[in-house]
Amino acid sequence: MLIVQKFGGTSVGSVDRMRNVAQRCIAAQQAGHQVAVVVSAMSGETNRLLGLARQVHDDVNDREVDVIIATGEQVSVGLVALAIRAAGGKARSFLGHQVKIVTDSAFSRARIVSIDAEPLRECFASGEIAVIAGFQGVDEHGNITTLGRGGSDTTGVAIAAALKADVCEIYTDVDGVYTTDPNVVPSARKIDRISYEEMLELASLGAKVLQLRSVEMGMKFGVPIHVRSSFSESEGTWVVPEDSKMEAIAVSGVTVARDEAKITVEDLPDTHGIAWRIFAALADASIVVDMIVQNQAYDGTVDLTFTVPSLDHKRSMETLIAQVPDLVGRAGERIKADNDICKVSVVGVGMRSHAGVAKRMFELLAQENINIQLISTSEIKISCIIARKYAELAVRVLHDGFGLAGA
């Protein structure tokens, strides 16, 4: 088999842990596999480097910031390759420009365009383990780029896709993907197999275990992803194409996101172009809007409610007051803001064939007297905005109500 193993910052957080990583790679090779390892910067290193850059310049979306923070992964690949050699194995490190991970030129959040797998194949042919820097690439002009937070997951899956690997193993500090946060719901179960679509929803809804883009890429190229613990040998969670067995289960997971805030603009004129002006103002300020609901009142006005990241809460209101004072009032008097919310969601490909999931979700919340403020749905997900104080209660009720609790 050809195996790609990706180790995050915690898994390479010390010289001892790197030795542990080296042992795992060598064991896989000795079991007869070809092994490529993708590593992140040692935990804390990216933040240290960003801190240095910020002391010098406050613009962190800069070509030079990528030059600086890409060194974190460079140190890691050198050390892991050395650790493999010290343990008697053969290894060679590859930086983004050496394995030609070509990206676009969007510094600090670049997207992978292509990968040249040839140097890696040569490496395998000479019996070496390829140790590849995650998170970094190079644009068509030879500038160093980085992929954004969690980008090493994406590197791992992209390398697996380029090599047509049999599996991309994502090693992390938890032992897989859970039906919900085990810290909140002790009965949470590890999921053995989950579809790319469900994993995408879970990742975008706040399950932090895999980066969203890595799941998208796995789905696009059909790379089986195995999320597992770097501290144990047990099987983790396989993220794979949907199969009929998965559809037998209506709901696979429950998530909660606490990092959104709600904004309502009241008494807007009921004419065309209003929503466009409001969301254009926010988009120009690079504020990402999540859920949107518009209600028509009986007096010929409309109320517009939407959610934004908590961090952009204040800036959103300032932007609206500055850009569209005729709609929100010069002092923003028509804006009602609520930072005290959360979003609970249930996810499952089985929803497509199971009627009544939404009804059951609203019923479970109503039984606990939890008021639903906003609802949004996708084919395999239902999300509700509720008061933040009910976050844990709602997750527990939904998790157990949909029969996700472990035996």
Give me the residues that bind a second copy (CB under 8 A), please: 15, 18-19, 49, 52-53, 55-59, 62-65, 67-68, 70-71, 74-75, 77-79, 81-83, 85-86, 91-93, 95, 97-98, 142, 144
As measured in angstroms, the least distance from the Cβ of 169 to a second copy is 22
Percentages of the chain per state (helix, strand, coil), in multiples of 5 = 40, 25, 35
Residue placing its CB nearer to a second copy in the complex, 78 or 309? 78
Least Cβ distance, residue 216 to a second copy (angstroms): 30
What CA–CA distances, in Å, run from 156 to 24, 32, 153? 16, 20, 5
- Nearest CB to a second copy, comparing residues 95 and 374: 95
Minimum distance from residue 81 beta carbon to a second copy (Å): 4
SS3 string of 236-286? CEEEECCCHHHHCCCCCEEEEECCEEEEEEEEEECCCCHHHHHHHHHHHCC
Is-contact 361 217, C-beta < 8 A? no
- Report in angstroms how near the CB of residue 85 gets to a second copy at its nearest: 6
**Tokens standing for 126?**
């000479």
Report in angstroms the alpha-carbon separations of 119 from 6, 131, 340, 389.
18, 12, 52, 53
Q: Which is nearer to a second copy, 52 or 288 (CB)?
A: 52
Q: How far is the CB of 152 from a second copy (least distance, A)?
A: 17
DSSP calls for 107-126: TTS--EEEE--HHHHHHHHT
By beta-carbon proximity to a second copy, the closer residue of 67 and 285 is 67
Q: How near is the Cβ of 2 to a second copy at its closest, in Å?
A: 23
For the bound state, the minimum distance from the C-beta of residue 215 to a second copy, rounded and expressed in Å, comes to: 30
Question: Of the candidates 109, 343, 21, which has an alpha carbon nearest to the alpha carbon of residue 206?
Answer: 343
CA distance 124 to 91: 9
Name beta bridge partners: 258.
Answer: none
Q: What angle do CA 257, 262, 266 make, to 5 degrees?
A: 160
Nearer CB in complex with a second copy: 139/260: 139
The torsion angles phi and psi of 3, rounded to 5 degrees, stand at -115, 130
Nearer to a second copy, 70 or 370 (CB): 70
Assign 99 to helix, strand or coil. coil
Report the residue number, 15 or 31, with the smaller CB distance to a second copy: 15
Closest CB to a second copy among residues 64, 104: 64
Four-residue CA torsion sign, 312, 317, 318, 323: positive
